Amino acid sequence: MSIATPDVATSPAFKVADISLAESGRHQIRLAENEMPGLMSLREEFGPSQPLAGARIAGSLHMTVQTAVLIETLVALGAQVRWASCNIFSTQDEAAAAIAVGPTGTPAEPAGVPVFAWKGETLDEYWWCTDRIFDWSAEASAQGADFTGPNLILDDGGDATLLVHKGREFELAGAVPETTDADSHEYSVILGLLRRSLATSTDRWTTVAAELQGVTEETTTGVHRLYELARNGELLFPAINVNDSVTKSKFDNKYGIRHSLPDGLNRATDVLIGGKVAFVVGYGDVGKGAAEALRGQGARVIVSEVDPICALQAAMDGYQVARLESVVSEVDIFVTGTGNLGVIRPEHMLEMKHLAIVANVGHFDNEIDMTGLEKIEGVEKVEIKPQVHEWRLPTGRSILVLSEGRLMNLGNATGHPSFVMSNSFTNQVLAQIELWVSNDNYPIGVYVLPKHLDEKVARLHLDALGVELTELSPEQAAYIGVSVEGPYKVDHYRY
Amino acid sequence: MSIATPDVATSPAFKVADISLAESGRHQIRLAENEMPGLMSLREEFGPSQPLAGARIAGSLHMTVQTAVLIETLVALGAQVRWASCNIFSTQDEAAAAIAVGPTGTPAEPAGVPVFAWKGETLDEYWWCTDRIFDWSAEASAQGADFTGPNLILDDGGDATLLVHKGREFELAGAVPETTDADSHEYSVILGLLRRSLATSTDRWTTVAAELQGVTEETTTGVHRLYELARNGELLFPAINVNDSVTKSKFDNKYGIRHSLPDGLNRATDVLIGGKVAFVVGYGDVGKGAAEALRGQGARVIVSEVDPICALQAAMDGYQVARLESVVSEVDIFVTGTGNLGVIRPEHMLEMKHLAIVANVGHFDNEIDMTGLEKIEGVEKVEIKPQVHEWRLPTGRSILVLSEGRLMNLGNATGHPSFVMSNSFTNQVLAQIELWVSNDNYPIGVYVLPKHLDEKVARLHLDALGVELTELSPEQAAYIGVSVEGPYKVDHYRY
Amino acid sequence: MSIATPDVATSPAFKVADISLAESGRHQIRLAENEMPGLMSLREEFGPSQPLAGARIAGSLHMTVQTAVLIETLVALGAQVRWASCNIFSTQDEAAAAIAVGPTGTPAEPAGVPVFAWKGETLDEYWWCTDRIFDWSAEASAQGADFTGPNLILDDGGDATLLVHKGREFELAGAVPETTDADSHEYSVILGLLRRSLATSTDRWTTVAAELQGVTEETTTGVHRLYELARNGELLFPAINVNDSVTKSKFDNKYGIRHSLPDGLNRATDVLIGGKVAFVVGYGDVGKGAAEALRGQGARVIVSEVDPICALQAAMDGYQVARLESVVSEVDIFVTGTGNLGVIRPEHMLEMKHLAIVANVGHFDNEIDMTGLEKIEGVEKVEIKPQVHEWRLPTGRSILVLSEGRLMNLGNATGHPSFVMSNSFTNQVLAQIELWVSNDNYPIGVYVLPKHLDEKVARLHLDALGVELTELSPEQAAYIGVSVEGPYKVDHYRY
Amino acid sequence: MSIATPDVATSPAFKVADISLAESGRHQIRLAENEMPGLMSLREEFGPSQPLAGARIAGSLHMTVQTAVLIETLVALGAQVRWASCNIFSTQDEAAAAIAVGPTGTPAEPAGVPVFAWKGETLDEYWWCTDRIFDWSAEASAQGADFTGPNLILDDGGDATLLVHKGREFELAGAVPETTDADSHEYSVILGLLRRSLATSTDRWTTVAAELQGVTEETTTGVHRLYELARNGELLFPAINVNDSVTKSKFDNKYGIRHSLPDGLNRATDVLIGGKVAFVVGYGDVGKGAAEALRGQGARVIVSEVDPICALQAAMDGYQVARLESVVSEVDIFVTGTGNLGVIRPEHMLEMKHLAIVANVGHFDNEIDMTGLEKIEGVEKVEIKPQVHEWRLPTGRSILVLSEGRLMNLGNATGHPSFVMSNSFTNQVLAQIELWVSNDNYPIGVYVLPKHLDEKVARLHLDALGVELTELSPEQAAYIGVSVEGPYKVDHYRY
């Protein structure tokens, strides 16, 4: 049963590319479970007590095999879940199908979680999917209950959170602003969706917002938005910043990128990395992982940085640190990992070597100035294969842009591997439990998980790697002023 | 136009999986050309003089995009070519299609090179394809010429060379031996083919052998067979051992595997390599590349070796060196790179961790004892996806075997990247030219390329990497007793 | 003119091993200045404005060549200084001599800073030296001024700070406690010194404490003591925790140890590191630097950790993580870097390989249980050369203990190299300026330097390494919500 | 008892700097024995059978602690020995003293081996020492035997071999040529010595040459000379090229330099290597080890090469490959490892950064053009400490030259560590045994050791590193056509 791209006016129980992929997805989920010891341990520890009973979670996070294990863990802990992807390209169709079918269902009689995601959504479809995870009318009706939407959001990038905040804002204002030329295409899609919503209901998002007990947010970008909302007094519910758990930021960003950057480069281009000159824009955790991976494959890595501390780290790690302008014409592979905009711009692209590869593992597709690229006079875009495009420049040279400038580790590979995501997602689950079980401890604001939970996440991943942990003696613990069980470090410890 | 798997009795002009893939293949060939500066330089240097005019080359080598660039280089230098793959799984169908179509042809009117290869051949099909590259009747007839087969072989693994030698041997004997239980399935297929050949012609292979001026051989295994033939006085024509050019063995084996091993692991399993325990069997060039790649991804690498010198090298490079038996139950990823047989055996597999990955980058599928695995009582084989199989063992644990125990960098990835193959293939082309142009210099025997040609291959790849070569002054050259232009090292220099 | 070890009752203008070493020290200072661009830049920036005019700094920090550049920088910014080392073995005698002589003095007519330090002090001598930096009577008398001691402390390890706090405490109590068997030898020395002081003056330390405007502290251990004093309400003056500047902790600990650990191992033992099994206790910044250095030399590194997050980091970086007990008999080189006590104990030492090397780069000599080692029945200590001792164990095996279990990078090498110390010391100077110029901003408590100063320290070290820093455009700065000039990161950023 | 530098006319039983250093040397020898398992195993295996009984070995090789273990191994196998160093700076005085005293002697009653070596010889003294190892009159007289000199040479660099060849040549000619302006200072010293010899005896060297059964040579340079002599038909006795054993060239050159280069840099300068730009001239085994060591310390390494194969290797290993001219002004540390002359010349030095470090680990002091440096007008040489000189250039900048341009790992550190030398020296001993026991197998010519002995050397070093060697099954051995016991590789295998 193949499901066509949706008519955005209708609302089926779920929407995936091809439900028949479920069996393949189920195999992959089973293999992934072996690589996600953190989540599997939580199922074992918390399955009996069902701490998420009553929780209705709206999830907006790349609909991959790993996310499938997360979703099934949330369900195993008692939660109800609806899910959308947070990126138009990142869905693994077989994972979405398997989640829709569920472990006990069949493609003919799906018994899984409502999921709205497929690889290659349009922006209209994407925001329609995001809208769907806030419509819990079917569940309310089935349970004879009186609720409209979810009571928790599990977010990645903040799109789900944004939709609620904007929806409520425009309902309070009584109108959705006109779209202007300054608005991005994506923002005009959001405005359109909310305009249609307002035409149908004047308080849908206000009600949704009121029911929400909080959000747990996965990424730098989403966290940045949350702190801004909080600073402006606009945040509507408490938020846990999962991104800044050590076991998330240091692991997902650094070790995840170390794995998935070369994976994406290889799948996209099959170009030898060894011997090449690679340029990594930004030496935060993402850049550190990228540089290590490229060096590990024998590339010569040049780094650029704006922060003198990170620049000094790069130098001390043996990398050349240069401005992009200084070396652009010698570079074979460009990788961006800054979370900022316009770090590679048309003036750079015009100076690049023929068939230089341009890849983003940092942030949105504005990190590489794709709009600027499109506007170069005489530029021509040739699809080599999906997510790999040759842009023929008026100079006679071409460049290869991966995943349309979006996150190539998702678009050209399969995202971070399961083990990394197990770290991130174990944080997510613990954060969801915190917000659900101990909501009173979290007045509206943005929080990080307490260090003992961060250490717990790490601890749950050691056995799988054969790590033997040493135990402090009581005397040693006393000597450094900690408890034997931890936490072991002051809050500002940098790892 | 999709071509079904062949009826092995017929002989079309070419046979590929799907001729419509040619356009995609052509794009990839164009990109690969940018990564194969050695071959492109040869086209520039030798295109005008056509040194291979008159040469009829039978190629048996993985029919990948890179091989397509090799084939088109041979053609650009004047040769006629017929081609088969040398592995049942290694063909990239779009490359085969593009070669069949040719740069100037169209799928409807192919104008390329006769190619017989598709991904996933049966053994019967495989040997039929190999047979096809020796049948030059169509060319002879078209050219009004009087030849039967090729005058040069370009071989990888020695299957094409084997077929000629065995075919002639049985023709001289007047009979093909009976197949016995001791024969492998593959050998019985060869015997069958030659039996059918002998039924049709009593001197086909004898004639083919007589027309051959030599073979250039790509791999350790093929070279090993050639030296054996030469030692036994059975070699029928001169052979150039391309494998032992420094720019082949050190680059293809070490740097190629460094690239394609993690690529294959990632595409096959998406399992995080970082933090895992990896075991590399063998620390020759292949093992060195494998170990470096795995360490570069953050794995802890354990190595096994039989040669005390290589074992000491591994220790000096910081790896634990242990017998497989000593650590088998701690290992997450097993990689074989020895060129020997049975280096991972059932008794090891039964002790492995659940879902341990077993991958071969060394040699045939007997390097991992696949036959032994199949014979374990109660074993069950589940296909996760093509080339990735879970073997459920009677212990209750499973292992994941990649590419059925065959070369996983070919089966699960796309083989060595273009730049590496450019080194190997530039050696191949120079070797073909040597045998064709200077055949008198090569009485029957096995040769390596002279060092100045090996250095030339390297030299042709420097510009693309931005390498500045220093030039000796005449005084310096005299001081170390070399010429300014090289060669720079004694023959036994180890690099 | 060679000065004998001091009669601890007298108080000369300075006390060093051999004033004739001054010329050699001056050469080394000149070379070190080239490697300490941070300090040299501060001289250039602040020399004219003399921000430390009026400051009287008591310094207690390893009296090395690098410290000499620090001292002369403080003087160049207007401060008066008295100096002692903070470790009995760490003084470089030629640096002490050069500082005593001063840039413009001669051995015959010293014109430098009063310094009390020589390599190989006894504990009595050590604490006498520390006492000397608090006696500013000569300066007061020369300047016709009415002060007793310093107004700032620059401390490393907290000994100078301890002496003031204990001295004042006992003066308030009117008596120094009796020495008991539970007291360490060192503490009994301190009690003896303060007992003699109290016999002479009942308010010397009370006055000293009152004059002090603050302390800047260099190390983890010292900082730990300060936070404890602050927590208990016993801290007498504000303190700046220099240790936790990123440019200190991440650079000094990680990159400093990466350099000086192998240096110390080599000078002490000349033993090949490559191929050996090294065990690093602790994977904080020090352990990370140690492990990287050992791996960089080709050792196989095993790590132990108590903190699951750091343990997971070690695994992800490719190291085996094991308890010491599990592998002790396979290890060639033991390195401790925890800041805790008793991490290598007699029961471990008795299991070690013959001539295993035991070295501490973490903390005091209790990190390796030296007292326990001495108490092993039948143990015999043989001096191989200064700071290198063979301990013959009753098992018939020996172990080599470096620097008597104290910091071997100081005892067996020359401490961190100048460039690393330039980072630390530039933080120190900026912290001293903060406490002196902006003292009102610092009520009693423990502070870290503001991030913009931390970034400034990094910035001052980039040019020397040829690092090109990229500049944010105003649009980019706005996009990530920072100013173009920085600071660029939130306070909890981990680098 | 301190022995003054010798009056070159007298011939004592031995000549060392200070015999009282013997005890310290004996301690170091004992520790070194633990690191030289190859030599100790040979003592165990061959001690009983005394294969070197009757051998009289003249050794010319750096008189270090490791060489002391070699000498005592030769003696343990039955040889008589006389020894000189092969470098004016490389003697460790305590090792020389311990060898003179011997394991059973005392400083007052030395009972060791005649040794003529001290740190810091003049060239006159150096060649006098070399002369002494050929004068076996004392031994002959003591043994009532009729011989003049040694019957074997153990050489490093070929100076001992040169002296015999030149001595005999001039005796045959009846005259020593006049010294000319074109002769180096060193050659004029040699001519002087031989002139004095010829004045005393017309056939001393002819006799010495006739008695010699062969030489085993340690280094590239010496081997190069031997092949030249052989090519010209001038070689007087068989020679074994120990340098090209894999366990010598790959271990000593690569792993030895990896260890001793940073050791020498640190002892000489204490400059942080991390973050610096290092330039390695030459990417042979020495350069490979140097580059790896520098990268392992966090330096950014740039390599230069003349051989395109080695250049390509450097690129594939991730290093920038550039001409010295292109980057000279950005480099902090220069390292030469080519074995050629004039690879760093005055025109480069004048462009270097202030206080750039210039170090040679390759070859003679002409590798860096020291003569050219001295001739720069206005240059000034300042000794920072022994073997570390600041050369003040007319540009106002200085450079730091280590060990006067000679091998800095010997001059500034203590040479290769024991474990590395154990590999080299185990080859030496096996080669001496070959020449002594199987002399008939070696007609005049230059040989490498057979591969099974090379493998034996490796095998003898595995246990000490905890390496477990895997054993081939007979089936596996047959499959790859080797014997279970080895040798395992073809002769041209490159490792």
Of residues B244, B307, B492, nearest to D488 (C-beta): B307
Mutate to test the interface with B, among A40, A269, A272, A423 (most CBs of B within 10 A): A272
Of residues C255, C414, C466, nearest to D270 (C-beta): C414
How far B416 CA lies from chain A's nearest CA (Å)? 8
Nearest to C491 by CA among C453, C461, C451, C440: C451
pLDDT score of D308 more than 80: yes
> Would you say the C-alpha torsion B488, B490, B491, B492 has a positive or negative sign?
negative
The residue of chain A with its CA nearest to that of D319 is: A300
Nearest to A217 by CA among A453, A423, A427, A456: A427
- Put simply, the answer to whether D300 touches A319 (Cβ < 8 Å) is yes
- The string of DSSP letters for B131-197 reads HHTT--HHHHHHHT----S-SEEEESSSHHHHHHHHHHHHHHHTSPPPP-TTS-HHHHHHHHHHHHH
Mutate to test the interface with C, among D259, D270, D389 (most CBs of C within 10 A): D270
Tokens of C210: 């009152």
In order of their start, the domains of chain C are 15-247+416-451 (3.40.50.1480), 255-412 (3.40.50.720)
Of residues D31, D263, D384, nearest to C355 (C-beta): D31
- Put simply, the answer to whether B312 touches D494 (Cβ < 8 Å) is no
Q: pLDDT category, D4, cuts 50, 70, 90?
A: very low
The residue of chain B with its CA nearest to that of A27 is: B384
Helix, coil or strand: residue B389: strand
- Put simply, the answer to whether A466 touches B277 (Cβ < 8 Å) is yes
Tokens of A293: 């991976």
CA distance D215 to D129: 18
CA distance C352 to C299: 17
CA distance D458 to B308: 5
The residue of chain D with its CA nearest to that of A317 is: D298
What average pLDDT does chain D have?
95
Tokens of A240: 């846990």
- Put simply, the answer to whether C308 touches A492 (Cβ < 8 Å) is no
Helix, coil or strand: residue D224: helix
- The string of DSSP letters for D108-156 reads SS--S--EE--TT--HHHHHHHHHHTT--HHHHHHHT----S-SEEEES
Question: Which residues does B330 contact at the CB level (< 8 Å), separation at least 6?
Answer: A466, B277, B353
Which chain D residues touch A319 with a CB distance below 8 Å?
300
Would you mind telling me the total number of residues written for chain A in this entry? 495
CA distance D38 to B313: 16
pLDDT at A192: 97
How far D419 CA lies from chain C's nearest CA (Å)? 6
Which chain B residues touch D250 with a CB distance below 8 Å?
313, 494
How far B349 CA lies from chain C's nearest CA (Å)? 23
Which residues are bridge partners to D218 per DSSP?
none
How far D470 CA lies from chain A's nearest CA (Å)? 24
The residue of chain B with its CA nearest to that of A353 is: B464
The answer to whether B156 is a known ligand-binding residue is yes
- Put simply, the answer to whether A455 touches C480 (Cβ < 8 Å) is no
Which chain D residues touch A274 with a CB distance below 8 Å?
316, 318
SS3 of chain C: the string is CECCCCCCCCCCCCECCEHHHHHHHHHHHHHHHHCCHHHHHHHHHHCCCCCCCCCEEEEECCCCHHHHHHHHHHHHCCCEEEEECCCCCCCCHHHHHHHHHCCCCCCCCCCCCCEECCCCCCHHHHHHHHHHCCCCHHHHHHHCCCCCCCCEEEECCCHHHHHHHHHHHHHHHCCCCCCCCCCCHHHHHHHHHHHHHHHHCCCHHHHHHHHCCCEEECCHHHHHHHHHHHHCCCCCCCEEEHHHCHHHHHHHHHHHHHHHHHHHHHHHHCCCCCCCEEEEECCCHHHHHHHHHHHHCCCEEEEECCCHHHHHHHHHCCCEECCHHHHHHHCCEEEECCCCCCCECHHHHCCCCCCEEEEECCCCCCCECHHHHHHCCCCEEEEEECCEEEEECCCCCEEEEEHHHCEHHHHCCCCCCHHHHHHHHHHHHHHHHHHHHCHHHCCCCEECCCHHHHHHHHHCCCHHHCCCCCCCCHHHHHHCCCCCCCCCCCCCCCC
CB pairs under 8 A between B and C: 33
How far B304 CA lies from chain D's nearest CA (Å)? 6
- Put simply, the answer to whether B259 touches A275 (Cβ < 8 Å) is no
Q: Which residues of C are annotated as a binding site for NAD(+)?
A: 219-221, 253, 282-289, 305, 340, 409, 416
- Put simply, the answer to whether D312 touches A275 (Cβ < 8 Å) is yes
- Put simply, the answer to whether A467 touches C495 (Cβ < 8 Å) is no
Q: What is the pLDDT of residues B184-226, one digit of tens each?
A: 999 999 999 999 999 999 999 999 999 999 999 998 889 999 9
CA distance B281 to B285: 12
Nearest to D259 by CA among D294, D305, D304, D299: D294
A445: left (phi over 0), alpha (psi -120 to 50) or beta: left
Q: Mean pLDDT across the stretch D151-164?
A: 97
Pairing of strands B152-155, B215-217: parallel
How far D215 CA lies from chain C's nearest CA (Å)? 28
Interface of D with A (CB under 8 A): 274-275, 295, 298-301, 312, 315-320
Q: Which helix (H) or strand (E) holds B23?
A: helix B22-34
pLDDT at D410: 86
How far A305 CA lies from chain B's nearest CA (Å)? 23
Of residues C309, C322, C448, nearest to A495 (C-beta): C309
How far B150 CA lies from chain C's nearest CA (Å)? 51
On whether the CB atoms of residues B470 and D305 are closer than 8 A, the answer is yes
CA distance C100 to A56: 73
Return the DSSP state at A252: I
Which residues are bridge partners to D217 per DSSP?
D155, D241
Nearest to C437 by CA among C49, C73, C140, C127: C49
Nearest to B56 by CA among B201, B200, B208: B208
Of residues A271, A295, A420, nearest to B35 (C-beta): A271
CA distance D54 to D50: 9
On whether the CB atoms of residues C291 and C284 are closer than 8 A, the answer is no
Which chain B residues touch C312 with a CB distance below 8 Å?
275
Question: Which residues does D213 contact at the CB level (< 8 Å), separation at least 6?
Answer: D151, D152, D237, D238, D435, D436, D439
Which chain A residues touch C459 with a CB distance below 8 Å?
308
> If 0-12 CB within 10 Å is exposed, 13-18 middle and 19+ buried, where does residue C203 land?
middle
pLDDT tens digit at each of 495 positions of chain A: 333 344 444 557 899 999 999 999 999 999 999 999 999 999 999 999 999 999 999 999 999 999 999 999 999 999 999 999 998 988 999 999 999 999 999 999 999 999 999 999 999 999 999 999 999 999 999 999 999 999 999 999 999 999 999 999 999 999 999 999 999 999 999 999 999 999 999 999 999 999 999 999 998 889 999 999 999 999 999 999 999 999 998 888 999 999 999 999 999 999 999 999 999 999 999 999 999 999 999 999 999 999 999 999 999 999 999 999 999 999 999 999 999 999 999 999 999 999 999 999 998 889 999 999 999 999 999 999 899 999 999 999 999 999 999 999 988 998 889 999 999 999 999 999 999 999 999 999 999 999 999 999 999 999 999 999 999 999 999 999 999 999 999 888 999
Q: What is the pLDDT of residues D9-58, one digit of tens each?
A: 455 789 999 999 999 999 999 999 999 999 999 999 999 999 999 999 99
Which chain B residues touch C315 with a CB distance below 8 Å?
275, 300
- The string of DSSP letters for A445-479 reads SEEPPPHHHHHHHHHTTTGGGTPPPP---HHHHHH
Q: Mean pLDDT across the stretch B238-256?
A: 94
Mutate to test the interface with A, among B26, B30, B257, B270 (most CBs of A within 10 A): B270
How far D415 CA lies from chain C's nearest CA (Å)? 9
- Put simply, the answer to whether A298 touches D316 (Cβ < 8 Å) is yes
pLDDT at D297: 98
The answer to whether A282 is a known ligand-binding residue is yes
**CA terminus-to-terminus distance, chain A:** 49
The residue of chain B with its CA nearest to that of D310 is: B495
How far C393 CA lies from chain D's nearest CA (Å)? 16
pLDDT at C9: 44
Tokens of C161: 């700070």
- Put simply, the answer to whether C275 touches D419 (Cβ < 8 Å) is yes
Q: Mean pLDDT across the stretch B98-105?
A: 96
Q: pLDDT category, B163, cuts 50, 70, 90?
A: very high
Tokens of B482: 């070399």
D477: left (phi over 0), alpha (psi -120 to 50) or beta: alpha
0.85 surpassed by complex ipTM: yes
Q: pLDDT category, B10, cuts 50, 70, 90?
A: low
Mutate to test the interface with A, among B35, B265, B272 (most CBs of A within 10 A): B272
- Put simply, the answer to whether A266 touches B263 (Cβ < 8 Å) is yes
Which chain C residues touch A323 with a CB distance below 8 Å?
468-470
CA distance A393 to A102: 48
> If 0-12 CB within 10 Å is exposed, 13-18 middle and 19+ buried, where does residue A177 land?
middle
For chain C, which residues score pLDDT lower than 50?
A: 1-9
CB pairs under 8 A between A and C: 164
pTM for this prediction:
0.94
Which chain B residues touch C278 with a CB distance below 8 Å?
none
The residue of chain A with its CA nearest to that of C341 is: A476
On whether the CB atoms of residues D475 and B328 are closer than 8 A, the answer is no
CA distance B426 to C155: 65
Q: Which helix (H) or strand (E) holds B128?
A: helix B123-132
In a 13 Å sphere around the CA of C28, the CA atoms on its Cβ side amount to 27
Of residues B251, B306, B491, nearest to D472 (C-beta): B306
Tokens of B464: 């693309």
The residue of chain A with its CA nearest to that of C461 is: A312
pLDDT at A5: 40
Tokens of B288: 């060195």
- Put simply, the answer to whether B300 touches C312 (Cβ < 8 Å) is no
Provide the H-helix boundaries in D297-358.
Answer: 308-316, 324-327, 346-349
Which chain A residues touch B35 with a CB distance below 8 Å?
271-272
Instruction: Compute how many other C-beta atoms are within 10 angstroms of the C-beta atom of residue C211.
Output: 17
In a 13 Å sphere around the CA of A91, the CA atoms on its Cβ side amount to 28
